[in-house]
């Protein structure tokens, strides 16, 4: 069955535009509560959020809807997405809900769900929630209305968990790190984690005002971090996104280190310690350089569909311990079953410590292929196979690359975009071919 609301990462859109409206979120909370209540005798759900101003409104709406369905809520306040996954498991809750639009600007928001195992909800449960949304909303009898309470020590619990993912004996005294929290949900957590493992921390992006989340800071805008690292002569920089599930690094020379490079560094380090199981799981967007570098050290590689939920699904299929995306979602499955920027950064620091090498030196072992990604805004979601001119243009470009590169066309799972990606050994050719294909997509589908 086709989903009407849920995308690759929950339900997301512009605040005030259906379905990201208070009335819809109220009913969504009720519908989810109805499904959770009949699936299990456990009637408790955790709710966390990032720092965007609309989070307060949607937190109240979700709480009311869940209460009307007879489900208790425990409020976490501003909390990274991976923290909600972790705390859902440790509190043995029926589900965890995150109010966040991740790396999007403040005027967007979204709702995503975790099951009791800390994984994103399976498709069948999302379909059940959508089916329940079509029903008339009712309220349980007064004696069964759900109660709400705030968890006061959630922040401390998660900080201790993060630190526990690397050996306590590691000493990072003398290491100067700039940590960019994107004015998001890690602002009160990430600086504490890296300070408490002994590093000297300079924190930026830690003054959320409800409107500045992800604005010119964080994993999607690492230039600010690069400039700060260079100005302070720091050893490295760590950039997280608004909900803390992405990691982008900056080395001491101000050069950006993306998710593919992080994956390779962690794979090689874990292989050396005998801690790597299964193939590394990337996505259709993963750089060819990652695939070739892993092949050179005899580590398998598989590509999942884009989206961390699909990476996790393939990791479970192959019993893989490591997977992720170029954008910085890094899943260390032996630590946590979802992408976690803080935990991934700690694994990189451990790799640096054991090798005695700088971040800049570690990243040299992988050579990235030139890759151009162009986002084309479209009027509405479409099936690309229905547009033969676009398919012909893609085929022609693949012929020109002659097996030395890749072409990828895919609709975004979270925004009205077609992503046009071309990759190959020649940067000028890659840019030219990507622009040519994007122009065809724009002519056929663009919103003008």
Q: Tens of pLDDT along 289-343?
A: 999 999 999 999 999 998 888 999 999 999 999 999 999 999 999 999 999 999 9
Q: How far apart are CA 6 and CA 12, in angstroms?
A: 8
Whether the Cβ atoms of residue 259 and residue 324 lie closer than 8 Å to each other = yes
pLDDT of 43 > 70? The answer is yes
CB neighbour list of residue 412: distance below 8 Å, 6 or more residues apart: 375, 418, 419
Q: Where do we find the tokens 């639009």?
A: 101
How far does CA 146 lie from the centroid of its chain?
31
Domains in the chain, CATH or no CATH each: 11-152 (3.40.120.10), 171-257 (3.40.120.10), 258-341+358-368 (3.40.120.10), 371-445 (3.30.310.50)
Closest CA to 327 of 259, 242, 225: 259
User: Among 125-134, 246-255, 303-312, whose mean pLDDT is lowest?
Assistant: 303-312
**What pTM value is reported for the model?**
0.92
**Cβ count within 10 A of residue 122:** 12
The pLDDT assigned to 414 comes to 67
| Parallel, antiparallel or unpaired: strands 280-283 and 301-304 | parallel
240-248 mean pLDDT: 98
Give Rg (Cα) of the chain.
22
Q: Which of 54, 67, 85, 102 is catalytic?
A: 102
Tell me the pLDDT of the chain averaged across its residues: 95
What does the block give as tokens for 343? 């935990």
pLDDT of 448 > 60? The answer is no
102 is known as an active-site residue: yes
What does the block give as tokens for 415? 């925004």
How far does CA 118 lie from the centroid of its chain?
14
Q: How far apart are CA 328 and CA 81, in angstroms?
A: 14
Q: How far apart are CA 267 and CA 113, in angstroms?
A: 29
Whether the Cβ atoms of residue 284 and residue 305 lie closer than 8 Å to each other = yes
What does the block give as tokens for 230? 């260079």
DSSP state of 287: -
Beta strands in 210-284 (DSSP E): 236-240, 247-251, 256-257, 280-283
CB neighbour list of residue 31: distance below 8 Å, 6 or more residues apart: 65, 69, 129, 130, 132, 133, 135
The pLDDT assigned to 9 comes to 87
Q: Cα torsion at 44, 54, 344, 76 (round to 10°)?
A: -30
Whether the Cβ atoms of residue 147 and residue 138 lie closer than 8 Å to each other = no
6-29 mean pLDDT: 96
């Amino acid at each position: 069955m086709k989903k009407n609301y849920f995308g690759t990462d929950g339900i997301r859109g512009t605040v005030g535009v259906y379905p990201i409206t208070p009335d819809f979120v109220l009913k969504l909370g009720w519908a989810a509560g109805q499904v959770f209540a009949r699936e299990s005798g456990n009637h408790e759900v955790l709710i966390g959020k990032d720092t965007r101003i609309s989070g307060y409104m949607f937190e109240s709406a979700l709480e009311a809807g869940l209460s009307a369905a007879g489900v208790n809520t425990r409020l976490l306040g501003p909390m990274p997405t991976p923290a909600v996954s972790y705390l859902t498991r440790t509190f043995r809750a029926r589900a965890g809900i995150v109010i966040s639009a991740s790396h999007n600007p403040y005027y967007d928001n979204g709702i995503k769900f975790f099951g009791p195992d800390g994984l994103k909800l399976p498709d069948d449960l999302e379909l059940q929630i959508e089916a329940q949304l079509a029903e008339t909303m009712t309220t349980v009898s007064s004696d069964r209305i759900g109660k709400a309470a705030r968890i006061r020590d959630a922040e401390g619990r998660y900080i201790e968990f993060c630190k526990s993912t690397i050996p306590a004996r590691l000493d990072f005294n003398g290491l100067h790190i700039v940590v960019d929290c994107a004015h998001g949900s890690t602002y009160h957590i990430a600086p504490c984690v890296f300070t408490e493992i002994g590093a000297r921390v300079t924190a930026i992006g830690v003054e959320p005002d409800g409107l500045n989340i992800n604005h010119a800071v964080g994993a999607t805008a690492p230039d600010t971090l690069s400039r700060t690292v260079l100005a302070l002569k720091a050893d490295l920089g760590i950039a997280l996104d608004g909900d803390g599930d992405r990691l982008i690094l900056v080395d001491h020379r101000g050069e950006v280190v993306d998710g593919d490079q992080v994956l390779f560094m962690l794979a090689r380090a874990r292989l050396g310690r005998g801690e790597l199981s299964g193939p590394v799981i990337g996505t259709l967007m993963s750089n060819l350089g990652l695939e070739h570098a892993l092949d050179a050290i005899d580590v398998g590689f598989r590509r999942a569909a884009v989206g961390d939920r699909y990476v996790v699904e393939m990791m479970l299929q192959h019993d893989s311990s490591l997977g992720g995306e170029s954008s910085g979602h890094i899943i260390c499955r032996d630590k946590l079953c979802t992408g976690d920027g803080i935990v991934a950064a700690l694994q990189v620091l451990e790799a640096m410590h054991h090798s005695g090498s700088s971040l800049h030196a570690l990243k040299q072992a992988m050579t990235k292929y030139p890759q151009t990604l162009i986002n084309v805004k479209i009027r509405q979601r479409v099936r690309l196979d229905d547009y033969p001119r676009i398919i012909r243009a893609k085929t022609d470009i693949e012929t020109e690359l002659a097996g030395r590169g890749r072409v990828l066309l895919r609709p975004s799972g979270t925004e009205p975009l077609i992503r046009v990606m071309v990759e190959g050994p020649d940067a000028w050719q890659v840019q030219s071919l990507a622009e040519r294909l994007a122009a065809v997509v724009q002519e056929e589908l663009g919103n003008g």
